[in-house]
Structure 1
Amino acid sequence: MKLYIKMPNKLIPFYQKELEMVKDNLKQDNLQNAWLHLERAHIIGQKYPYEHSFVHWKMLQFGIKIKSTKEVVGQIPRLLVGGVKSFVGHIPVGNTGGANVPPLKTMEIPEDIQEILKLNA
């Protein structure tokens, strides 16, 4: 069993760029694009406990901002368990992390993110 502790340095800029895009889109009140970038950050960071948990924290805050009970309630268990699952290498690959998808569902990774992950593996 492989333990994932730290995100590789080469991957960090891609993860951070997605989070910056979240901030930029929130400033412009473009909620749909902000959410898309949260999902992308989740896919990139889901193998790594801190980054995985941080995205769920941001998703919880987003749910509060848009007053979505479903998102808030859906993020709480993900926030509590996501990092642990990352640590032990047991994640549903490609899952976008929102309450709109089952937490254990494996999903297809967008092609550009597949390339990022391949280059930085």
Structure 2
Amino acid sequence: MMKLNTFIPNGLRSFYLNELNLYRSSLQSGNLSQAWHHLERSHILGQSYPLEHTYTHWLMLKFGFRQRSVKEVMGQAIRLLVGGWKSFIDHVPLGNTGGSDIPPLKKMELPEDIADILSTYRKN
């Protein structure tokens, strides 16, 4: 039977939201590389859930515009079109950081702390 993901578990949501808060504070302080790092981490944490996955790609798109990166803007536009439905059926490449410099279907090694977090909340 196919597993459908609709809502991120509450505990996992708090880790996801923390990464978004760290993204915003890094962006506000002008530390753009750190801001992007936190967007990537929010992508890994939220990529199995349609709303969180789509929202992170939306923020990545806005970041691409801020950086005037045509490659990032184009890559994020494509990901916005297909990412959410792949999350809904939990068909995502675990660990993928979501940026345009990474192939959309490439599975990547999880950072150790995120692997620990996800092992608590993922039911596979």
Regarding TM over 0.5, the answer is yes
Quote the Cα distance in structure 1 between the aligned partners of 2:120 and 2:3: 19
Number of positions where the alignment pairs a residue of Structure 1 with one of Structure 2: 121
Could you tell me the TM-score, scaled by structure 2's length?
A: 0.96
Quote the Cα distance in structure 1 between the aligned partners of 2:28 and 2:57: 20
Quote the Cα distance in structure 1 between the aligned partners of 2:7 and 2:120: 17
User: What are the equivalent positions in structure 2 for 1:1-121 lying under 5 Å apart?
Assistant: 1-121=2-122
Quote the Cα distance in structure 1 between the aligned partners of 2:96 and 2:121: 19
Quote the Cα distance in structure 1 between the aligned partners of 2:67 and 2:44: 22
Quote the Cα distance in structure 2 between the aligned partners of 1:30 and 1:103: 26
Q: For structure 2, which runs of at least 5 residues remain unmatched after alignment?
A: none
Quote the Cα distance in structure 2 between the aligned partners of 1:87 and 1:41: 17
Cα RMSD over matched residues? 0.6
Q: For structure 1, which runs of at least 5 residues remain unmatched after alignment?
A: none
Quote the Cα distance in structure 1 between the aligned partners of 2:90 and 2:73: 25
Per the alignment, in what secondary structure is the counterpart of residue 45 of structure 2? Answer: helix
Could you tell me the TM-score, scaled by structure 1's length?
A: 0.98
